[in-house]
Copies of this chain bind each other. A is one copy, B any other.
Amino acid sequence: MNELAERIRLEGQVLPGGILKVDGFVNHQLDPRLTLEAGQAFARRFRAAGVSDVTRVLTAEVSGIAPALATAAALGVPVVYARKKRPLTMTGAVYSARAVSRTKGGEVELSVSADYLRPGERVLIIDDFLASGKTLLALAEIVRAAGAQLVGVGCLIEKAFEDGRARLAPLGVPVLSLAVIERMDEATLEVRPG
């Protein structure tokens, strides 16, 4: 997606610790038009990759919600966001898996109510970043535990110099990203459309 790559090039900031700050359009402020177009791009590209009959989109709160909602809107299916702290309303059976947050620090437990992820569903996972791949693997583990079928993984921004894509390969599903960071350090930010 050319426009996303261009926004990253223009507005992205590389912070110490290998963190890419894209708070102006992904992680704190959102551009609704860009977000909805990203959802349409995911729908179109997964269709082109042979992914059909998605019944549900799954993501993790917080930053995954916007792109996942946009993708679910384009596909006409519900979206579920895994919670990182179980609220009082999460009663009944729950699937959970552990992940690590780089920008917040520490381990988190992702939880999804069994009410909203049923056996046999065809699930597309959408998130903001593909870096280490650990959050996406935790979501895939939740899909497996629910007896549902993972059909694809999409992320807005992939850090190609980390090993996330290799870690996701055993899942055996298409992994698509809309913008790819080839290289970044405090002096360099090389981005291409995904």
Contact = CB atoms under 8 A, between A and B. Distances in A.
Interface in A19-40: 19, 21, 23-24, 27-33, 35-36
| Most B-side CB within 10 Å, residue of A15, A28, A113 | A28
B113 A28 contact: yes
Contacts of A72: 30, 32
A186 interface: no
A108 to B, nearest CB: 11
Interface in A69-116: 69, 72-73, 76-81, 83, 85, 87-91, 102-105, 112-113, 115-116
A113 to B, nearest CB: 6
Contact of A115 (B24, B35, B80): B24
A61 interface: yes
> Which secondary structure characterizes the binding site on chain A?
mixed
Interface residues of A, number: 43
Contacts of A17: 88
B15 A78 contact: no
Contacts of A62: 61-62, 65, 81, 83
Contacts of A73: 32-33, 35-36
Interface of A: 15, 17, 19, 21, 23-24, 27-33, 35-36, 61-62, 65-66, 69, 72-73, 76-81, 83, 85, 87-91, 102-105, 112-113, 115-116
